[in-house]
Every structure is written in C-alpha cells, then in structure tokens.
Structure 1
C-alpha cells in the first residue's frame, strides 16, 4: 500500500488535488470508507476526504455492536432487519478477530416483552438470518449464566446472539482494503464548498486544516457520507433533514463487573433498551438516546443526566455490585445521524433508522444508515453515482476483506494472532516487523500490543495524539485517566515515528489530556 503518514500527506496533497477524479467521497466514517472500498475495487479513480480524523465522529463512538436490529422487527422494518442480519453473518465470516460473536441475555421479569413474545420476535430474527440462534433459560439455569443478576420478579431469560467490534478499527481495515485497490484517503481536510457548473457539481474546494492551505479538486461525482453533518453542503433541502441524536456510554474496568454475556433490558424510566456488555476486556453500559443540542464540530460528551440514567440501569440489574461514579474508567458519546421529516416530533427512540439518498446533479448524499450495513449502503450510493461517472456498476458480491493468514505472526499466541490480523488485515506484514522488534508485550492491562502502537504511529496517518490513543488504539478509553500513566513510555516509542519535536509533543499531550477530561471522563 505504500507509506501513509503525515510526511507523505504533506507531499501528496498538492499532487492529489491536481488529478481528475471519478469520485470524491466526503466523510471518513464507516459509510465513507465503504464507498471508497467498493469504488476502488471497481477501478474508479477515487479519493476520500475527512475533515477531522478517520472514524472521528459516530464511527468511533458507537455502541460497538454489529447487529441486525432486533427491535426494528417490532416496528415492521423487516427489510432493514433482513439486510442487517445477513451482513452481520458476512462480517463474522470475513473478519474474525475484528467482528466477534457476542451472546445476549434478555431477563424476563413479568413485564413486556415476556418469554413467548420475545421468543416469537427472535424466531423471525433467526429466520431472516437463516439459522436458529436463541434459547430460553429458566431461573435456576440463568443464575449460572449471569451471576449477580437481580432476582426481583425474575422468571428466566432468553439468550440470543449478535456481534461486537472495535468500530474505529473496522473503519481503518476497510480503508486499508480500499487503498490496496488504488483508492486514496486523507484526514484533516475540510470541504468548504462544492463547485457547480450549470447546476451540476463538478468539484469542490477544501482546506488543509494542518497548514491552512486551500485546494480545488475536480471530479465527475461527489458522494457525501458525512453523517450528522449531511445537511451542510447539499443545495436542495426539502422537508427531510438530519436529527442529531446523542448516544452516551460508561466504561468500567472488567474486574469491577465481569460479564461473559451482554445483558439486554428495558430501562424503567422510559422503556428503551439498555445494554451492559463486555468489550475489549472492560464492561460497557449504554446507550442513551437524546437530542444532541451541542455543536457538531466539537467532540460530543456525556451529561450528568445521562450518567445517572445509565448508573440507575446498572444498579437495578446488578444491585449487589454497588457500581457508582467512582468505578467509571471513561465515557464516550456519539451523535447518530437519524433522518426525520420534522413534522411530528417523535421521541428519539421512535425515529426510524432507515437511510435515504439525496441526489442532485453530480452529487449524492447518504443520510442515516447503520454500521452493520455499510457495504449495502456503499453499493446503493455507487449505483446513484454511476451515471455521473459514466461507468456501469458491475453486479458483484465480492468479500469486503481480502483473506489474511493468522499464522503469519508466529511470535504471538493464537488469540493474539487472530486479533491483530482482524484489526490490521493487509498491514500485517508491517506489524510483524514491529512484533519482531518489540515482542508481544501488551500496553498495561489491555490487549493492545506496543508493536501495534508503534505501527500506528509510523504508518496509519496519525496527525494528533488523540488519533493515536482514541481511534488507532483505544488506550485512551481502556486505561485510567486516558492512559496518562503510560504517556512517558508512549512518547519514548512514538515521538520520533510521528516526526514531532519536543515542543510539539508537549503541546499534543496537553491538548489530548484536556480533550480527555472534557469529553471522555465524567462531567466535571
């Protein structure tokens, strides 16, 4: 794939701006990455521009679940559920170590939905997936399945399966596949305006946020996959618009509330689903669903009300655990881009999660959508762009991910091999070089290798320290105080790889810790 770091970016930007492109993708989340990947595999000359960092928005701050949307069946959204469960199975098969199966348990306490109703929904869910995937457990067995679960009114529980991922690494893996097939991707480049000739989009003007320089790009088509920012650049605005909804999460050390399964239940305050589940050796409590009133250009952050809401949910299910604010390791909040018609102000959880395409000559805007179905969304966008590009979109059902061999990393245990191959894909050869230099030592109590940190700093286009610690790795979430205690050793390993002098490192560290306190810790 070639060099991909800040030095390369500085040299490449003017040259990339001078080319004629078939397609420029605006937005570096999972949908933008998916569009670039599908365009690149078809030989389109394609470029992705992201204003902040890859996966900076919703795609690094989701609930980490690759699921079919069980609750959408109850709303009659069978098409969305069918597509989701089939894509879930595809991702499980193609990206082991990155997308992993996760069992869920729904406790039944006498309210809605009871075992029969819930079992009926799961029967439909399983039929759409093509396999039976659930089982009911009476109370005596449930005690062994989920120790510590409150038994107040508890009758039993139903176990079913979905999947979980590291969402930011999923974006990086998809971008890696696109780059292998000839696509290009840049972060830190903000699209200022679309250029139009005779009513058709023919290019765009963009600003390099690192240098302040402006560049003009020419292209046959623009695909906007900017999530909650989708309303900003499109010319024609009808009744449908983006309603930004915030979902926030708490992260606990795994030892504080150890779980082998995700626990799914309805919050007593508003009846919406909440999950407590294992992720990356820690335990997540989430998610909320509120209108996001803050600005979209700053990292979203959890509110005091949301903290109380999630802690209350956890306390009701695990009262003996005594989980409180002192146990919270970190937090994150993401903004979901939900399409609303604006006529009736539905409750956030009642808004449909269907996506739409807004099309104008030379430009297609994707609004809404789900992480699980990014491949299908990408194909739909490309079909809409094909006429502008002057290419037929060949039918095909090729894998998103090229196969990689886990045995290519001999110095690691089988579990570590599976994990790093899943996260790094085609970059595994470069990672192996770092494993040979640094061994298989992990950073703190996490599963992240020091070798992964070094490779990210050297070859995964890190522009700022939060890119490295919050998205290329998740150390800023998984270690106390945003990994403050490991920063001296991280500096010793990564500063020269990033090409930063001492003054730059000091500035980056101060900015990162301030960001972490503001947006990834409990509200002050």
Structure 2
C-alpha cells in the first residue's frame, strides 16, 4: 500500500506509513522544497525507489517564500560568478519553453539617472553578456521619453533614459507541486508532515554510515523507521541541523529576504521596475505577480530560531518603503497600501563576508558518513542541482534506467479545450500549474468556480481541486501554498472564508469544529507572520539592513 497524492483519513494514512516503513528504498530524500522535489523527479526518472519526506508542508520553507523570479542572476556577473549566471540563463530558457503558464517572461526596466550608479554603459555591457549567455540579442536602451511610457510612475528628475531586459517569474510553491506531481507520475513517493527525527546507522558499518531515517508523523504522531541505500539531506537553510547529528561543523549562513505585496492599482507596473536602493546600493524590484505587485527584497542575517516561521521586521518594512518612495515619489505609497508581507530564509554557504549580499549563491554537495547534503543554489537551477546530487550517488545505487539527456524538465501537457468561458491566458495558466491534470481541474468545477477570485488570477475551482487531491493537512496549506490567497488578499482572505469553507470543507472531510479550529489557527498565523509588524522589536538579525 502506498500513499497517493490525496489527503487521507487518519487511519488510512497510518496504514500507508506502516507499509512504507517495511519497504527497502534506494533513496530517502529529506526536504520538500524545490531541491528535494527536483531530486525526487530525477531519481524517479532513473527508476530508483525514492521516498521524499517533509516535516511540515511541501514548499513550507524557502520554496514558497522566494522572490518568485526564475532569473539568470544578472547581479552575479558583477561578483564574477559567470558559471552560475550561464547555467541559470540556460535553465531559465528551458523552463520558459517547457512550463509556459507557470514560468512566464517578465521584462525589467532600470532607470538611468544623472549621477547614479551603475551608469548606462556599464549596465549595457552586463546586459550584452547576459544576452550572449542566453544566445539572443535585444534592444536595451531607451531615451527618457520612451522609457517613461514603459515605466510612467517613476521619478523624473535627472532621468536620462533607461534600460530594459527580460527575465522570468513563477509561483514558486506551485512549481514545487508541479515537480512533485511529475515525480509521483513516475513512481516517486512524497509525503508531507512526516519529519526526519533521527538518522539511523548501519550495524555492519565500521564508520557509522547512515542507512536510514527515523520519521515522526506530525499529523498522526506515529514513529516509523525507513531504510535506504542512500539518504539525501535537501533541507536547505535547515541542513546543518541534520549534519550536526553527524558531528559536522556548521557551514550555512541563513539569510532572510522579506517582501511586501501591494494592490496592482496602487503600484501599477507593467514592466518590473528595478533600482539600486539609495541606502546601500542593493537591487530592489517591484513587479506584477498573480494580480498584485510584489516588492523585494532585503538580504539580512537571520538570527531567529529556524524552527519558527520567518517574519518581516519593522526595519525591513521601512527599508522597502524607502525604496518605493525613492523610485515612485508621485504615488505616495505608505504602510496602509500593503496587503501582506512574507519572509523567507535562504540557504547560503558561509564564507565570512561582512556583507551578506556578497556571499555566493552557488549550491554545495557534501558527503558525510553516508549522508549526502545538498544545499545552497537558486530556484532556477533546481534541475542541475538534482543531477549533480545523483552524480555523487552513482556508486551507491543500482544501475539507473537510461534517460534522454535533453528530456524536458516537465512533461508537456495537452491543450485545454475552449470551454467554460476561460480566456486563453487562463487556460495556459492552468496547463502550466497542473500539467496533465489541468483538464481534470476544469472538470471538477461547479457553478461559478471557473471565475477568478477578485484581485487575483486564482480560479475558485483551484481551491476545490487542492482540497480534494493535494494533501492539504491544514488550512494554511490551502491558502498560503496550494493557492496564494493569503498573500494576495487583505487580512489573508478573511472576507472570502465563508465561500472557501462552502467549497472546501466537504472535500477535506473536516467537521465544523475542525474547520473553526483551523480557521482560527490560520488567521493567528497570518497576523503574526504575514501582516505588517504590530510592534518595533529590536532584531539582531537585521543589522545589515
């Protein structure tokens, strides 16, 4: 008996977990973010018996709290990271081609002002290299009058013109879920709310080699032991926690990136607008995302407990609002315009640099007593990271099934028929988000559920589909990761909770008491971690803002 992607009643979940504990696995992957999901997909493609476990929800950590950009890392050119930029640009192009509707092009506009850095010629040189790496050429520079048509709300004093270039954006949590969907279709198994409690050692190993993991079910409380030929630590910023069970030294520097979400009508940007912050010269951006406007990001040392959800600080709010006031003075944006906030912790390898922004963003792979740790890196390059991890494990695993080196990252999905009044962009979005299941999502819709929720691009039926099929254990899973309504609607979507309940409670099989409990917990979580700070605490982790 194995777990399917549906949310299972408690008894069935327990039985399924007991069955999984009796199987011999080739690979157990700890961590349900984009790195773990990518490794599971590539392992399943090669025919390995692979199990992924996540102590909370899929994409709970960094992979639902990123800047939502699938980018080549233009700023990494300045740091001399040409290889990382090259790989990122190529993977970006692959995802744009293969995940249309989930990974979409996003043009960026950068204003050129008299006396501000970087100047036009230096920026154009970087963009020329960027284009060369992508195998394309494009016009970049626009005089002031043309540039103001592309970015009409920016400051005009001393404006000489501007430059434009193209990157890409995504819904990071949905990208994780799409990759997991592909992996499950190939035989991979992924379970959320199943945490790695303790590494197991092989009895016949003189060096204490890792041979499995003791798991604790956060949903049901049971404890299970699973054994595997290899164990992969893909827990990102949390990777040192498992490594320290091996006696390994800490090697990660958790950095927090925080963001603001504003209504599109208050900060209307057709192009993404990028600028260098007047305080420290770090890049800040504002771009259209899922029907709202996203503003980010900070880059500060995160000194808080990693087991607690990250939250934006008052200093970071002021930092981002100062950037908006600097670039869009005529809009007079204030705290009252902010719909929601979110913060994520990046897994960055610590090299001791004083400025956290100067730390490298490449990934690292370490083998320590049979535990393979994969951490660092970028959302864009998740496939390359997965392939690198599997190369390190080749000698410990059975011969893999043959694979095509140029196989797409994500399998193509069939076009949706023109029905239900869905616009072309909506059909494309569903295909990108749900792949081969997009038709089933549409077929699940009841009356009125193929319309979009006001202020977002999310369709009501996506709530029903998630509740029915996508392993929703808590209401926060549904509203913060399966959909992003908790980020896109004021108060976390409180005004829509009655209709959400009418659609989802029966699909989830929750009693009235359970729904009331979940709703209260969700709203408390949203208020604590996704709203503006209600106080101004001293935050030792924000010293570089």
Q: Same fold (TM over 0.5)?
A: yes
Aligned: 1:204 with 2:209: no
Alpha-carbon offset, residue 135 of structure 1: 1.2
8 A contact 1:386–1:393 mirrored in 2: no
Counterpart pick for 1:118 among 119, 123, 144: 123
Distance across 2 between alignment mates of 1:239 and 1:184? 31
* Counterpart in the other structure of 1:317: 327
**C-alpha spacing 1:513/1:60, structure 2 compared with 1 (3 Å):** same
**C-alpha spacing 1:10/1:417, structure 2 compared with 1 (3 Å):** farther
Counterpart pick for 1:64 among 52, 64, 68: 68
* Counterpart in the other structure of 1:170: 175
Counterpart pick for 1:187 among 188, 192, 198: 192
8 A contact 1:301–1:520 mirrored in 2: yes
* Counterpart in the other structure of 2:511: 501
Distance across 2 between alignment mates of 1:15 and 1:54? 22
**C-alpha spacing 1:10/1:496, structure 2 compared with 1 (3 Å):** farther
8 A contact 2:32–2:52 mirrored in 1: yes
Alpha-carbon offset, residue 283 of structure 1: 0.8
**C-alpha offsets along residues 46-91 of structure 1, whole Å, 9 cap, x if unaligned?**
1100010000000000000000000111111111000000000000
* Counterpart in the other structure of 1:519: 529
> What is the alpha-carbon root mean square deviation over aligned residues?
1.5
Distance across 1 between alignment mates of 2:14 and 2:118? 56
* Counterpart in the other structure of 1:106: 110
Tell me the TM-score normalised to structure 1 length: 0.97
Distance across 2 between alignment mates of 1:438 and 1:111? 51
* Counterpart in the other structure of 1:43: 47
SS at match of 1:233: helix
More deviation, 485-494/85-94: 485-494
Distance across 1 between alignment mates of 2:220 and 2:199? 21
SS at match of 1:451: helix
8 A contact 1:5–1:461 mirrored in 2: yes
Distance across 2 between alignment mates of 1:133 and 1:215? 55
* Counterpart in the other structure of 1:346: 354
Aligned: 1:444 with 2:454: yes
Tell me the TM-score normalised to structure 2 length: 0.93
* Counterpart in the other structure of 1:467: 477
Q: Which runs of 4+ in 1 moved over 3 A?
A: 8-11, 235-240, 392-395, 436-439
SS at match of 2:278: coil
Aligned: 1:12 with 2:16: yes
Alpha-carbon offset, residue 426 of structure 1: 2.4
**C-alpha spacing 1:51/1:69, structure 2 compared with 1 (3 Å):** same
* Counterpart in the other structure of 2:280: 270
8 A contact 1:223–1:365 mirrored in 2: yes
Aligned: 1:142 with 2:151: no
More deviation, 496-505/390-399: 390-399
Distance across 2 between alignment mates of 1:49 and 1:75? 35
Alpha-carbon offset, residue 493 of structure 1: 1.1
More deviation, 350-359/159-168: 350-359
SS at match of 1:359: strand
**Residues 27-426 of structure 1 mapped to structure 2, 5 A cutoff:** 27-109=31-113, 110-197=115-202, 198=205, 199-234=208-243, 235-236=245-246, 241-341=251-351, 344-392=352-400, 394=402, 396-408=405-417, 410-411=419-420, 412-426=422-436
Distance across 2 between alignment mates of 1:178 and 1:408? 26
Distance across 1 between alignment mates of 2:300 and 2:513? 40
**C-alpha offsets along residues 227-265 of structure 1, whole Å, 9 cap, x if unaligned?**
110001125566661100000000000111111011111
Alpha-carbon offset, residue 407 of structure 1: 2.4
Distance across 2 between alignment mates of 1:266 and 1:63? 16
Alpha-carbon offset, residue 2 of structure 1: 5.2
**C-alpha offsets along residues 373-431 of structure 1, whole Å, 9 cap, x if unaligned?**
00000001111122222335856231121111232463222111001111011222320
Distance across 2 between alignment mates of 1:143 and 1:429? 42
SS at match of 1:406: coil
**C-alpha spacing 1:2/1:218, structure 2 compared with 1 (3 Å):** closer
Gaps in structure 1 of 5+ consecutive residues: none
**C-alpha spacing 1:316/1:226, structure 2 compared with 1 (3 Å):** same
8 A contact 1:6–1:463 mirrored in 2: no
**C-alpha spacing 1:505/1:354, structure 2 compared with 1 (3 Å):** same
Distance across 1 between alignment mates of 2:286 and 2:486? 20
SS at match of 1:23: strand
Query: Number of aligned pairs?
Result: 522
**C-alpha spacing 1:478/1:219, structure 2 compared with 1 (3 Å):** same
Gaps in structure 2 of 5+ consecutive residues: 535-545
**C-alpha spacing 1:453/1:121, structure 2 compared with 1 (3 Å):** same
More deviation, 431-440/273-282: 431-440
**C-alpha offsets along residues 342-385 of structure 1, whole Å, 9 cap, x if unaligned?**
xx342110111111111024321012010000000000111112
8 A contact 1:9–1:186 mirrored in 2: no
**C-alpha offsets along residues 112-133 of structure 1, whole Å, 9 cap, x if unaligned?**
2111100001111111111114
Distance across 1 between alignment mates of 2:198 and 2:246? 14
8 A contact 2:414–2:436 mirrored in 1: no
* Counterpart in the other structure of 1:433: 443
Distance across 1 between alignment mates of 2:411 and 2:52? 20
